[in-house]
Structure 1
Amino acid sequence: MVSTGPGPGCYSLPPTIGFVSHDYTRFASPAYSFHQRLNNSIYLKDASPGPCYYVEPEVTRFGRIRGPSYSMLARPKPPGLPRTPGPGTYSPERVPPPSQQRPPSFSLGARTKYRPVDHVPAPNSYTLPTLLGPRIPSKPSSPCFTISGRNDKGSYSEDLSRTPGPGRYSTTDPNVYLCRLPAFSMLGRLRKPSGAFPTPGPGTHSPEKVIAHWKRSPSYSLGIRHSEYLMPLIADAPEW
């Protein structure tokens, strides 16, 4: 007889360790699993109040419940002097009697300021187009003509001979072929003489100190000492 089934080595018993595929015929002990390490920022972040956090008794889950409370402000500054006018400010004599009729009176206010954003030009800023010439789009114009300049070539006034005209010649000076006329020249203006002359005045002289007309003994003066080696000046040399 031939066996067609699997051999004994093909069968395997379920494990008795762990929780997955545990043998249900055996008693399983409590099993625990290890989770991966959490991020350290979770432990560093404090999302809950600590022991120092104090919750006021008036704060409930329905909101803040408390009685009326009052606060004291600072002392206000004393009011200054009143700004009301005195009795002498009024002028009852200027008020007309209310029972009398009087014409209406008006007052002139100050001139209002121009708007800074108003850039509309004034009436005198506009200029009307001229009525002379053909360049008027809204007005009919008469026929107009222009006169061009005279051509130098091809016209009746063309100078074919290229000779100078009478106005090209210059006149000769008559002094060239006639007796020369007297000529004069004008010098520049002389300087005005100043009032301060270097000559002495009459009060500068002292006639009482002049003694040239007195009789006196001859007097001599000593000149400078000359060198012994200096050659004397001979005015008239003898002729040999």
Structure 2
Amino acid sequence: MEEVVKRRPIIAGRERGPGPGRYALPPTIGYINHDYTKPSSPAYSFHSRMSSNMVSVDSSPGPQYHIDAKMTRFGRDGTPSYSMLGRKKRTHDTFQTPGPGAYSPERAPPLNHHIRPPSYTMAFRTRYRSLDAVPAPSKYSLPVLLGPQVPNKPSSASYSMSGRRKSGGPSEDLSMTPGPGRYNSTDPNVYLSRQPSFSIQSRHTVPSDVTRKPGPGTHSPEKVTAHLPRPPSYSLGIRHSEFVTPLVIDVSD
């Protein structure tokens, strides 16, 4: 029979990992292989001690050498530089670009269903017509703007006065005025959203079932296996680890 090995959770306090010196991080001193996530400061180096002969013998090149300011120890500075070229000589092969006055965009035909602005021309003078009878302004008859007779003009409210009613009518005797019950009101469900309607049903018959129903104590919901692989079970765990902080209740001042 195989022995069952019980696995326990890994506790970080029992693990002994490598120290900080085991990690190979890029240096933050100097220029070569510098950590690109850290800002770099100026780097300097110490030269070896010069011999005593250098004091009496001058081997320096002197100020005759001029080093360009754009030259660095890693090559030439990559800053872009620009210059202005001289005017090119005009030859028969040189393309001559037309000026703005050579274009006539107003003469271009409409392309791709472009909308063109209206264009106007001035015609010659018309002949003098002395025999034509041009009507005067008073000869025109415009429709009246009172009432609903003009279909293309907004009309205001129009009122008319009728004849006097017979003596003793509702306008003189208020007792002849019809009451609220004489008017037929429209059902609100016709022109509004229909309201809910309810009805009362007849009384139900008394149940006469004589079968015995189980009580609440008969059911055992903790033993259900219809939707679970097995009934739920509970057990007591082991003693807490020594790495857990103990509960301190009494605190001395």
The normalised TM-score by structure 2 is 0.21
Higher RCO (CA < 8 A, seq sep 6+):
2
The normalised TM-score by structure 1 is 0.21
Structure of greater Rg: 1
